[in-house]
Structure 1
């Protein structure tokens, strides 16, 4: 991002694959072979007004946190997703570093919707909506690891609008998904990846309980600023999480 303060919660799973531009698995998280990954992107145009609350809450809640409801994407979310993935600050450390064109975002959304049936139960990319207003804040995801450099596990991803950076939404959501994955799903290991220089995204991973596993280097077709420092992999196992959180209650489901 433009400054450390703005990067406070940006997570960018991976950039394009070494041989395929934009290759990154599920758009949400890492970037398999055609999409983008984590980050917080923000633009006021991506936020909904309070009158949208009824519309947003009409969709079943996936996971609920103190300030947010996570739910499935719908076709009606295309404008908000386009604002998020089209924001230059959000995409600066993801994939080729450029905003995603709307036509590509429409294809990404179609894949998100298809994943709800194609991925393991309760996996996919989920809208993060503010409880009080229904405003679109960004998204978080749990998917089979597909980002460049990852070799197994369930990948955690996130992107949040710049307009709400620094307020802890990415961390709050990431912690909730980690808890949900270990307490309610059959997940044994959660992984995440970002650029070594993306300090904000790394802090979110660390606050969610993940620890640094390694730094690795890939040959990107279009290297972006900071690529020379490589990428990092973070992870946490069910055993470690359980040992640290065995006193907690299961995550709330609506």
Structure 2
């Protein structure tokens, strides 16, 4: 599996030692604000097993992200196939960080490394990003990495319950348009 390195981050395969901090993130209401229900430890652990299996099958997926200076697990970033129930197809970029890692530019740094991998290594022609209409922080990261909003692609997430998590926005970036 490919490991990505930036000045401050390592995007790498998941380790057993990541499961506790990942579960803590998934039980944090602020981290999950735009994602839905909090996850139990079992659900959180199962998500990592799924991430690893998908990475093995496709050769890309969700990496664990660690801070290089401390070796601390701070979240995840990567690429995933858009779910079949969505009104569009393609490969989606995403990230999620522990609150202690917010506001330090880590999401942008991890996303730029992920975009480079998707375009330069995987040869993807386009990468998408989706978030709730209210998730302004993620939308700011999307703009910082050169993505543009596609208002015609905005949609109501069919997997989300009625309420603020249902309206979603779609961002795109083509390989030829990267920063």
Tell me if both proteins adopt one fold, taking TM over 0.5 as the criterion.
Answer: yes
In the alignment, which residue of structure 2 is the partner of 1:115?
A: 54
Helix, strand or coil for the counterpart of 2:177? helix
- Distance in structure 2 (CA, Å) of the matches to 1:147 and 1:200: 26
Normalised to the residue count of structure 2, the TM-score between the two structures is 0.90
Please give the TM-score of this superposition, normalised by the length of structure 1: 0.65
Considering fraction of residues, name the structure with more strand. 2
Runs of 4+ in 1 over 3 A off after TM superposition: 147-150, 218-221
Q: CA-to-partner distance for each residue in 1:108-131, whole Å, 9 max, x for gaps?
A: 111112112212x2x111011111
How far 1:107 moved relative to its partner?
1.1
Partner of 2:42: 103
Structure 2 residues not aligned, in runs of 5+: none
Which is bigger in relative contact order (C-alpha 8 A, separation at least 6)? 1
Aligned residues: 177
Unaligned runs of 5+ in 1: 1-59, 245-254
Matched, 1:87 2:24: no
Q: What is the aligned-residue RMSD (CA, Å)?
A: 1.9
Q: Secondary structure at the match of 1:239?
A: helix
**Contact 2:26–2:39 (CA under 8 A) maintained in structure 1:** yes
| C-alpha distance in 2 between matches for 1:206 and 1:68 | 21
Structure 1 residue 136: Cα displacement: 0.8
* Cα 1:100/1:175, change in 2 over 3 Å: same
> Among 172, 175, 178, which residue is 1:235 paired with?
172
TM-aligned CA deviation for residue 147 of structure 1: 7.3
1:153 deviates by: 1.9
